[in-house]
Amino acid sequence: MRKNELKQKMLRGERTTNGWLALGSTYSAELMGHAGFDSVTVDCQHGMFDFTQMLPMLQALSATPSTPIVRAPWNDPAIIMHALDAGAYGIICPMINNADEAAKLVQACRYAPKGARSYGPARGLLYGGADYFDHANDEIVVFAMIETRDGIANVDAILATEGIDGVYIGPNDLALCLGAKPGSDLTDARVIETIAHILNRARAHHKFIGIFCANGEVGATRRQQGFDLVTLGHEGSLLAQAAKASVAAALKAPVSANASDRSTGY
Ligand code: 3PY
Ligand code: MG
Is there a catalytic annotation at residue 46? yes
Number of domains in the chain: 1
pLDDT bucket at 47, cuts 50 / 70 / 90: very high
DSSP string, 25-84: -HHHHHHHHTTT-SEEEEETTTSS--HHHHHHHHHHHHTSSSEEEEE-SSS-HHHHHHHH
Mean pLDDT score, 238-244:
95
Return the CATH number at 201: 3.20.20.60
Task: Name the average pLDDT for the chain.
Answer: 96
Q: Ligand 1 within 6 A of 143 CB?
A: no
Specify the pLDDT at position 263: 61
* Cα 210 to ligand 1 centroid, rounded to whole Å: 11
Q: 266 CB less than 6 Å from ligand 1?
A: yes
- On whether residue 17 sits in a domain, the answer given is yes
Query: Pocket of ligand 1, candidates 96, 145, 234: which has the most ligand atoms within 8 Å of its Cβ, to mutate?
Result: 145
pLDDT in tens, 166-219: 999 999 999 999 999 999 999 999 999 999 999 999 999 999 999 999 999 999
| 9 inside domain | yes
Asked whether residue 185 is assigned to any structural domain, the reply reads: yes
- Cβ distance 75 to 93 under 8 Å? yes
Contact 210, 143 (CB under 8 A): yes
Q: How far apart are CA 37 and CA 243, in angstroms?
A: 21
Please report whether residue 44 resides in a domain. yes
Residues spanned by the domain of 150 = 5-239
Handedness of CA 15, 108, 63, 125 (dihedral sign): positive
N- to C-terminal Cα separation, the chain:
34
Catalytic residue among 34, 46, 205, 234: 46
**Confidence (pLDDT) at 189:** 97
